[in-house]
Homo-oligomer: A and B are copies of this chain.
Amino acid sequence: MPEHPELTIQGWGAPTRPRDATVAPGREGDDGTLVFAPFPPLAEVLPKAARRHLARELGWTPRATPPVAVREIRLAPSRLAEECRLRLVELLGEEHVRTDRDSRLRHAGGRSYLDLLRRREGDASDAPDAVVTPGSTGEAAALLGLCSEMGVVVVPYGGGTSVVGGLSGSDADDRPSISVDLGRMAEVTALDVPSSLVTVGPGMRGPALEEHLGEHRLTLGHLPQSWEFATLGGYAATRSAGQASTGLGRFDDLVAGLTLATPTGVLELGHPPASAAGPDLLGLALGSEGALGIITELRLRVRPRTRAGRYEGWSFRSWAAGLAGLQRLARHDLLPDVVRLSDPDETRANLLMSGGAGARALRGSLRARRHGAGCLLVVGWEGVPHLVRARAKAAASVLRDGGAVRVGRRVGESWRRHRFSAPYLRDSLMDAGLLVETLETAATWTALPGVYDAVRGALREALGSRGRTPLVLSHVSHGYATGASLYVTVLADRDDDLPIQQWLTAKRAATDALVAAGGTLTHHHAVGADHRPWLEREVGPLGVEVLRAVKQRLDPRGVCNPGVLLPD
């Protein structure tokens, strides 16, 4: 099959990270206040064919539904008592305790569709009462002890990219809350090259770490879609997975150790390279979402910069054939480092979005091979050149046996180039009256087809009422020997009267369906506020009680991010 030089392959509005200039975390204008940068109109960011496709599929009429101006966002006065504020100032210094409107707005909520909806409507009721910036593990530990004593809720803040309400700050007792921004703890503090270990502060972002490591010809290689904004501490607290996690491992696998400051003391966890000294306490801190304390330092496993990277596109005639092909690769430990299999709906949408002759030519040649309603697969390998070649060859043999057709490296390289760009679409889509959100899960290979059907069915039913038809685009984003993740983007005509209720209903239906079909509650977005009603179904009532016992020991007054993870 010929190569397609002009093709670009992108996802659709996966809301996993903030745009630089959106409502929150916001950007300072020349006058020092928060401003909106205007989002580009949809016509600028989406080809005409794609807009037509959306209008036709969704029954959606493009319309202007802009957000309120920042000055119109409602923000209640800070509830933090002056006496408490002074004690925080005493600990951290005046410049590291902020209660001004801009600081509070910038740390309000995360980046879920619901967060954006609320902010667009002018609602910042979840904004913290203050923002503080500790500079060390010692300060963070002292801060937690002080807040526990004062009854002040603590919400750690990294990149603000949570899409599951991880920053909600809600508290059953309605205590004041502070956002603990870790931006001052964002340095590399040690590098042990022979042991492939780097020690970093939790507030460091991926690009800064990669820049530092690049000077030593090393890389971390963890590349979630939120990479430009999310922090390393946030990855650990939420059990993140990156785009190359199929090969390099989930973020969990990259953490050799960490420091967790809690209201009752500091834990130093993890003993690289491996230990059998009792249960894994490091695994309790990973995924703790701030509910046990604040991660104040991380030891991460790094790798030499790769000497060869190879990305390819393949096509399967059907979703079932695609899943079967990946499953065969998985069983034989032949999965590439990057694996992304789009279902027919996502494949069609991607090809329509990619304007230009390349995409047209690809669509034509796929139709000619009876892959017109098929599934595109992007695969990628990184590493020592001759091992990349050997692995790619072994995988190609399995893929061909499964009926796949190679569509060339340009498709793979195009995906790689545009891997972080999809979320930038979201605000433009929302400005034009669309609902756009994502959700994700994972299941064994045996359960995965049922989970896929269940989620799609639930979303279509929940969002398909009143003449609307949602578009549900799915892909496998991470493969394992035992199963795979499923990432779902949903677009629908927004209910302008009850937009939040519209999504809550759909989300509840989809989550009920995926859990009932054997999917996990979340594969890499974490629990947050949004998923916690389902945690008991995931780990059982006794599992929740075990987590409560740990929290009770470390955070007896329950000040650590009480709105997430554990059900009320």
Contacts and interface: CB of A to CB of B under 8 A. Distances in A.
Interface string A539-568: 111110111111011100000000001000
Given A284-B284, A330-B196, A554-B546, A522 B277 contact: yes
Interface of A: 192, 194-197, 238-241, 250, 252, 256, 262, 264-269, 271-289, 292, 301, 303-304, 327, 330-334, 383-384, 386-387, 389-391, 393-394, 442-447, 478, 480-485, 520-527, 531, 535, 538-543, 545-550, 552-554, 565
A177 to B, nearest CB: 21
A545 B538 contact: no
A65 B521 CA distance: 61
B289 A278 contact: yes
Contact of A524 (B262, B276, B540, B543): B276
A521 B274 CA distance: 10
A279 B285 contact: yes
Contacts of A549: 549-550, 552-553
Nearest to A524: B276
15 contacts: A194-B445, A197-B444, A197-B482, A250-B274, A265-B541, A265-B542, A273-B480, A274-B485, A277-B527, A277-B538, A278-B289, A279-B283, A283-B284, A333-B383, A389-B390
Contacts of A482: 195-197, 256, 272-273, 301
A285 B542 CA distance: 13
B538 A271 contact: yes
Nearest to A218: B331
A194 B285 contact: no
A327 B195 CA distance: 8
Contacts of A446: 192, 194-195
Residue of A195, A266, A280, A525 with highest tally of chain B CB at under 10 A: A195
A196 B334 CA distance: 14
A366 B445 CA distance: 51
Assembly stoichiometry (copies): 2
B287 A240 contact: no
Residue of A275, A292, A304, A541 with highest tally of chain B CB at under 10 A: A275
B273 A483 contact: yes
A311 B541 CA distance: 48
A292 B384 CA distance: 44
Residue of A389, A526, A550 with highest tally of chain B CB at under 10 A: A550
A480 B327 CA distance: 27
Contact of A280 (B192, B268, B287, B541): B287
A279 B274 contact: no
Residue of A262, A327, A483, A520 with highest tally of chain B CB at under 10 A: A483
Nearest to A478: B274
A472 to B, nearest CB: 22
Residue of A331, A484, A543 with highest tally of chain B CB at under 10 A: A543
Given A331-B196, A393-B386, A445-B195, A538 B279 contact: no
B239 A276 contact: yes
A302 to B, nearest CB: 9
B545 A553 contact: yes
A327 B194 CA distance: 7
Given A275-B521, A276-B287, A277-B539, 16 more contacts: A192-B446, A195-B447, A195-B483, A262-B542, A267-B539, A273-B482, A274-B478, A276-B526, A276-B527, A277-B287, A280-B287, A284-B284, A387-B390, A389-B390, A542-B554, A546-B554
A477 to B, nearest CB: 11
Given A267-B546, A552-B549, A275 B195 contact: no
Contacts of A386: 390, 393-394
B283 A278 contact: no
A285 B526 CA distance: 21
Given A268-B540, A281-B546, A538-B271, A276 B331 contact: no
Nearest to A479: B273
B274 A284 contact: no
Contacts of A281: 539, 543, 546-547
Contacts of A383: 333
Contacts of A239: 275-276
